[in-house]
Amino acid sequence: MTQRRTDIRNVAIIAHVDHGKTTLVDCLLRQSGQFRDSQLAGERILDSGDLERERGITILAKNIALQHAGVKINIIDTPGHADFGGEVERVLRMADGALLLLDAAEGPMPQTRFVLRKALECGLKPIVVVNKIDRPDARSQDVVAEALELFLDLGADEQVADFPYVFASAKEGFATEDPEVPGDSMQPLLEMLLEHVPGPEVDVNSPLQMLVSQIDYSEYVGRIAIGRIQAGTIRSGQSLALMQESGQTEGKVGQLFVFDKLGRTETETAEAGDIAAVTGMEKIEIGDTLCDPS
Residue 132 in contact with ligand GDP, rule: CB under 6 A: yes
Instruction: Report the residue number, 131 or 230, with the smaller CB distance to ligand GDP.
Output: 131
Residue 15 in contact with ligand GDP, rule: CB under 6 A: yes
* Rounded Cα gap, residues 112 and 101, in angstroms: 10
Instruction: Report the residue number, 170 or 258, with the smaller CB distance to ligand GDP.
Output: 170
Applying CB under 6 A, among 129, 166, 170, 226 the residue interacting with ligand GDP is 170
Instruction: Report the residue number, 175 or 193, with the smaller CB distance to ligand GDP.
Output: 175
3-state secondary structure the chain: CCEECCCEEEEEEEECCCCCHHHHHHHHHHHCCCCCHHHHCCCCHHHCHHHHHHCCCCCCCCCEEEEECCEEEEEEECCCCCCCCCHHHHHHCCCCEEEEEEECCCCCCHHHHHHHHHHHHCCCCEEEEEECCCCCCCCHHHHHHHHHHHHHHCCCCHHHHCCCEEEEECCCCEEECCCCCCCCCCHHHHHHHHHHCCCCEEECCCCCEEEEEEEEEECCCEEEEEEEEEECEEECCCEEEEEECCEEEEEECCCEEEEEECEEEECCEEECCCEEEEECCCCCCCCCEEECCC
Of 117-125, 165-173, 220-228, 281-289: span binding ligand GDP (CB under 6 A):
165-173
Applying CB under 6 A, among 112, 169, 176, 279 the residue interacting with ligand GDP is 169
- Write the CB contacts of 126 (distance below 8 Å, at least 6 apart in sequence): 14, 97, 98, 99, 100, 116, 119, 120, 160, 163
Closest CA to 117 of 146, 82, 143: 82
Residue 107 in contact with ligand GDP, rule: CB under 6 A: no
Applying CB under 6 A, among 13, 20, 64, 77 the residue interacting with ligand GDP is 20
Residue 23 in contact with ligand GDP, rule: CB under 6 A: yes
Which residues from 255-284 bind ligand GDP, rule CB under 6 A? none
CB of 244 vs ligand GDP, minimal distance in Å:
34
Residue 131 in contact with ligand GDP, rule: CB under 6 A: yes
Applying CB under 6 A, among 9, 21, 72, 93 the residue interacting with ligand GDP is 21
Instruction: Report the residue number, 5 or 62, with the smaller CB distance to ligand GDP.
Output: 62
CB of 12 vs ligand GDP, minimal distance in Å:
14
CB of 88 vs ligand GDP, minimal distance in Å:
16
Tell me, by CB under 6 A, how many residues bind ligand GDP: 15
Residue 19 in contact with ligand GDP, rule: CB under 6 A: yes
Instruction: Report the residue number, 137 or 282, with the smaller CB distance to ligand GDP.
Output: 137
Applying CB under 6 A, among 2, 4, 7, 18 the residue interacting with ligand GDP is 18
Which residues from 134-163 bind ligand GDP, rule CB under 6 A? 134-135
Looking from the CA of 199 toward its CB, the CA atoms found within 13 Å total: 12
The residues that touch ligand GDP, with contacts defined as CB under 6 A, are: 15, 17-23, 131-132, 134-135, 169-171
